[in-house]
Amino acid sequence: MRIILASKSPRRKELLSLMGLTYEIIPSEKEENMCQNLSLSKLSESLAKQKADDIFSQTSGNRVVIGSDTMVVVKHKLFGKPKSKEEAKNMLKTLSGNWHKVATSLCVIIEKDGIKKEYLTHSYSKVKFLKLSEKMIDEYLQNDEYKDKAGAYAVQGKSGMFIEKIKGSYSTIIGLPTHLLFQILYKEEILKI
């Protein structure tokens, strides 16, 4: 069965490899529609589905297409990927000393022998940052780790030093809830233990 990841995220690629999957990467270039009046989980699910639908429509035959989307929320503010160093700095100032929620959604579309199935789900985790000084934030922003990361940080990267506590799934924070993906692929007999 052909497995396709609709993302160029190196973190998602690494998590799929750790699951023992053989897969290919076809990143969705579809523009994300963030202007939807939806709850955090529904917006994240909608974006994951947009990515999976985009790649599913470009491919054919027996296949599994995996789309995912991660969002960070603190104090009712939604943080996607920062568009600039200044935006990343503001995000990190807001995260500093606070708990925040990470929502990662998963859309898995499977076509097997002409039968299509779709799974759409999400996972939440909570993360508490240490209190960061402006100097700490400025020093961190000297490297490019903040780019292309929801909330301007990577739990598995250098910014992992800022994390005091985690409640929930580590892989959800990284950007692919492997516990949910495993359940789907195991149920569909695509992944064996």
DSSP summary character for residue 181: H
How many Å apart are CA 41 and CA 21, to the nearest integer? 27
How many Å apart are CA 145 and CA 139, to the nearest integer? 12
69 is catalytic: yes
How many Å apart are CA 36 and CA 3, to the nearest integer? 29
Name the one residue in this structure whose structure tokens are 């699910």: 45
- CA 92, distance to chain mean position in Å, is 18
Cα R_g (the chain), whole angstroms? 17
Query: Catalytic residue among 69, 113, 138, 148, which?
Result: 69
Q: In this structure, are residues 66 and 106 in contact, taking their beta carbons and an 8 Å threshold? A: yes
Residues carrying an active site annotation:
69
